[in-house]
Amino acid sequence: MGERRALTPPCDLTIPEPGSTTARDILSRAIGRLLGELRPLVRAHASLAPPSDVETFDRLLVALLRDHVGPLASVLRRPNVGALIRTLRRPSRDEDAELLSELIGLVGFELAVHGELPFELQLWKFPRRILSIAGRVAVDVPDDIESVVLTSGTMKTKRRGEVHELDLGALREGGTAAPGVRRPFTAIDGGTYLALEDNNPLALDEAHPDKSGNAVDLGQAHVSTWVEALRAAFELVAKYLPELRREMEVYLAQVIPVGTLSEKHLSASYREAIGTIYMTLHPQRMTMTEALIHEFQHNKLNALFELDDVLDNAYAPLYASPVRPDPRPLAGVLLAVHAFLPVARLYERMIAGGDPDAAGASFRGRFAQVVAINREGTRVLDDHAQPTAVGAALLDEMRHLDDHFRALIPC
């Protein structure tokens, strides 16, 4: 992949300036990291898969990296693929054989859906389910198949001596109904979907004390209610933070529903699943919009963490958090402040723009609360953070923004 260029310290990764490409560039470099480590990672786990599968897949990667890297980069950008790769970085576990099988099959399937497989890919071990963002489908595969053959536009399964063919081009266009095929993706806005199935291996791992994982759950609401609420949140971001909305279009592939709550909102994202956010449904548009911005911001920092440590003391010791009841490492405090600064900018612009929702005292009270959260978190970072050069630039930007909001709402 060639020598990696040093990462330029970012100047507007918290709130983008007009025309900014900072977040896009960081995501591109994070995908570049995946491109460089995919072959070595698969080869390191080669004993977990049939040798012929590993050999054929490796030959595919060599061909794509040499002559046709763009389609492969597009596949690795999707969180349903990227989360598998990043999870396989961890020390070996019993479930890694299934993760490797899913990774090989899913990469092949996504390339086949787009007609980008340079040659036939025959696999003897295949996952029981393919969850494809490219095809916007979930495909169940019977346990007793003998093999799967993927070509550009087709998937053939051999079972009990019979070959069954699935037209992936027609599937992608919504024109194929077949046994075991479901459509769990509903368009929200732009290229972001509400996803009713999830393949993130870590989705049930939860660090928040008020939650027990992030299983898919519509709660008591219909899909249309979810989509309407999320569209309203995206539209509010587009109106008052258009540069941030353009970054969301680059990053966010899917929103996973994890229940309905009327008194509070719980959301989540994972460092491994860049492009996915988990949200509960709340009746208030501002609450949904805050959560959308908050989790999106985490995705940007998670992409940056792929490239740089940001803080030399990111994970120990623990400090009081401005937004969590439990003590947090400085990485958690950084994530919180980085997420709430653009929320403060949203409130500022809605007030300046005379938005009807911004007229009440409760709105300005929440604005002051957000500013206070950022002030407290910035103080913790200023007192204790040991940043890298990249982290120092990020903290400088955040400190400048905190100063701006403190001048608006002094205490």
| pLDDT band of 323, cuts 50, 70, 90 | confident
Q: Per-residue pLDDT averaged across 281-299, rounded?
A: 97
Q: Per-residue pLDDT averaged across 253-269, rounded?
A: 89
Residue 177 reports pLDDT greater than 70: no
CB–CB of 155/147 below 8 Å?
A: no
- CATH 3.30.2410 residue window(s) in the chain: 184-200+212-297
| pLDDT band of 210, cuts 50, 70, 90 | low
Residue 25 reports pLDDT greater than 90: yes
Look at residue 3 in the predicted model and tell me its pLDDT: 46
Q: Which of 179-193, 230-244, 262-276 has the lowest mean pLDDT?
A: 262-276
Mean pLDDT of the chain: 93
Q: Using CA atoms, how far apart are residues 255 and 266, in angstroms rounded to an integer?
A: 13
Look at residue 176 in the predicted model and tell me its pLDDT: 61
Spell out a b/e string for 2-36, using b for 16 or more CB atoms within 10 Å of the CB, else e. eeeeebebbebbbbbeeebebbbebbebbbbbbbe
Residue 411 reports pLDDT greater than 70: no
Spell out a b/e string for 173-205, using b for 16 or more CB atoms within 10 Å of the CB, else e. eeeeeeeeeeebbbebbeebbbbbbbbbbbbee
User: Which CATH topology does 184-200+212-297 take?
Assistant: Hect, E3 ligase catalytic fold (3.30.2410)
List, for residues 302-312, the tens digit of each pLDDT value: 999 999 999 99
CB–CB of 331/394 below 8 Å?
A: no
Q: Is 106 exposed, middle or buried (0-12, 13-18, 19+ CB in 10 A)?
A: buried
Q: What percent of the chain has pLDDT over 70?
A: 96
Bond preceding residue 317 cis, omega within 30 of 0: yes
CB–CB of 327/319 below 8 Å?
A: yes
The residue type at 116: E
| pLDDT band of 207, cuts 50, 70, 90 | low
